[in-house]
A and B are shown apart, each in its own frame.
Chain A
Amino acid sequence: MNQRMIGASQARLNITWDGQNGDLPDSVPFDASDAEIKAWASEALRGGGVPGVTAARRADLQDFVIDRFPATDEMPYNRLFVRPKTPFGIQCG
């Protein structure tokens, strides 16, 4: 993805699945909901649309979370990461 093409309200979406990791070719809205982001990521994984990640027809991101990083001086575009959740124990709220 060409970072110059990522607008201020857009973000690069990185997805981790099955020991592989890649960026979605198209940018996505930075303020999209977690559910929307997971739906786009799932669709891309199932269709083989994530460079560097083998198509996974049964990809299910139900237990994954979204990390959001706004643009900085060092990284001049917004970034979203879809990754597995990692909490343990009894979660309240």
Chain B
Amino acid sequence: MIEVAVVLDRQHRPLHWHEPPDADAAALPDSRDLWEALWAARAQLSGVAHSHLHRGRPAPSWTDLTTFAACEAGLGVRLSWWIVTLDDASCFTHRGPGRYDYTGRTAIDQETAAWIAELRRRSLRDHPAGGLETP
């Protein structure tokens, strides 16, 4: 199992899958390649999703929150930051007042469900249990 990220366009379709060789089950390391993918897609970008390999309600780590804020500062736009666990998914957006104050909501439509299932499949690809069902 490894954490995986995916860059999403404004129609919530995957633009770029981020599966670096140095990722593990707990973290995706800093990556210039991912930043270049975000910068290249900035005109059509809506957000980024990444997997958390546990069950239950998603919650961003401090690393996640500081990455959300940094990328938005660099790109000059607010984005949607999805976190997908094995049986749930939430979309976090900046609500303020602080720099790192992001609030989650769950709103999974049909198009979102498709890439969520693919994100889980890629995250679990070496797991003996295989892919898990979409909630």
Interface residues of A (CB under 8 A from B): 16-21, 60, 63-65, 67, 81, 83-92
Chain B neighbourhood of A60, CB < 8 A = 73
Give the interface size bracket for B toward A.
20 to 34
**B26, B61, B64, B70 interface centre (most CB from chain A within 10 Å):** B70
A90 vs B66: C-alpha distance when bound (angstroms): 12
Given A85-B66, A88-B63, A90-B61, the answer on whether A64 and B28 have CB atoms closer than 8 Å is no
Secondary structure type dominating chain A contacts: strand
B35 to chain A, nearest CB (A): 5
Does B105 have its Cβ within 8 Å of any Cβ on chain A? no
A80 to chain B, nearest CB (A): 13
Give the residue of B3, B35, B71 whose beta carbon is less than 8 angstroms from that of A89.
B3
Given A19-B75, A19-B77, the answer on whether A84 and B5 have CB atoms closer than 8 Å is no
B93 to chain A, nearest CB (A): 16
